Amino acid sequence: MRLSNLFFLLSLLQSALMAQPVKHSFVCTDYTQGKVFIISEEGKDIWEYPAIHCNDIWMLPNGNVLFNTGNGVKEVTRDKQIVFQYESKSDIYACQRLSNGNTFIGESNSGKLLEVAPDGRVVKQISLIPDSMDAGSAFMRNARKLVNGNYLVAHYGLDVVREYDSKGKMIMEIPVKGGPHSVVRLPGGNTLVACSDHNGDPKVVEFDPKGKIVWQLLKNDLPGIELKFMTGLQRLQNGNTVMTNWLGHNNFGKAPHAIEVTRDKKVVWIYNNNSFIQTMSSIQLIDSGKVFKLDEILH
């Protein structure tokens, strides 16, 4: 076969692969219904579990699902057995399984960042407010422990994202008007934030380490799609961003639940099945049965 013919065939194959529609399987939360779901690549509901006011979710490497439940956190097996549970009087919107097997939990009303052992013991506690205070349910949404031991917190009601060191001292603050809901530290040190609709300007914004905006997706940047209330986030290895578009506040059916966009703001995937999802608030891709490693989605 001539070399020119080989290049031509390879070009045809590449074009055919690029023409294939993007499909994703994933886990997600539905805050309004109070359910967590596993969704197949065909977009079908293949597993669900009740979880009032669920906001944060992970499929763990063992196949179990970790999620918050309003005032608590649960880890549930695929046959729906509870293997980890934490309960609180405070509203909880953030949870994360750590590499040592403990679970990070962010309590909003109490303003506490907790690390809880598998047996339910609190092994580390950081108080961001005095113990006598009630910060309210808007104080904190999603929060993450970083690989350097620091904590990244979306202070929803304060319109700021803050990074705290391992002892709770604030070392960084980024003003984000509109209500930051989720925050992710990217590999190069940038910070990706999903912002709600407090000021009528829902968006996703990427900041460099000095707090300068280096990329953003605004309310009407995507033709035919309006951002309503941005909640969950995942930056993929190919540079694309997957985000959830919460459809509460009378927006059900008016936009997709989840969107994947390229760096140049091209939409490559949407999820808009309204037959059983009402308000998706968080998502984690699990394509082809693969559970993304923690270091692929947490930095």
> Does residue 269 fall inside a structural domain?
yes
Closest CA to 240 of 262, 210, 216, 259: 262
For residue 76, give the amino acid letter.
V
> Does residue 15 fall inside a structural domain?
no
For residue 13, give the amino acid letter.
L
> Does residue 6 fall inside a structural domain?
no
| Global pTM value | 0.90
Distance CA 273, CA 259 (A): 12
> Does residue 71 fall inside a structural domain?
yes
Distance CA 208, CA 230 (A): 20
> Does residue 20 fall inside a structural domain?
no
**Is the Cβ–Cβ distance between 29 and 54 less than 8 Å?**
yes
**Is the Cβ–Cβ distance between 229 and 255 less than 8 Å?**
no
Distance CA 204, CA 217 (A): 5
> Measuring CA to CA, how many Å separate 237 from each of 128, 144, 234, 263?
33, 19, 10, 12
Give the H/E segment covering residue 8: helix 3-19
**Is the Cβ–Cβ distance between 299 and 147 less than 8 Å?**
yes
> Does residue 254 fall inside a structural domain?
yes
Tens of pLDDT along the chain (299 residues)? Answer: 455 554 555 554 454 445 568 899 999 999 999 999 999 999 999 999 999 999 999 999 999 999 999 999 999 999 999 999 999 999 999 999 999 999 999 999 999 999 999 999 999 999 999 998 999 999 999 999 999 999 999 999 999 999 999 999 999 999 999 999 999 999 999 999 999 998 889 999 999 999 999 999 999 999 999 999 999 999 999 999 999 999 999 999 999 999 999 999 999 999 999 999 999 999 999 985 555 444 334 43
> Does residue 8 fall inside a structural domain?
no
> Measuring CA to CA, how many Å separate 19 from each of 15, 200, 225, 242, 268?
6, 36, 22, 20, 11
Q: What is the domain range of residue 96?
A: 26-297
Domain total in the chain:
1
Give the H/E segment covering residue 226: none
Per the structure block, which two tokens stand in for 62? 């063992």
CATH number at residue 133: 2.120.10.30
Tell me phi and psi for residue 94, to 5 degrees.
Answer: -125, 135
> Does residue 68 fall inside a structural domain?
yes
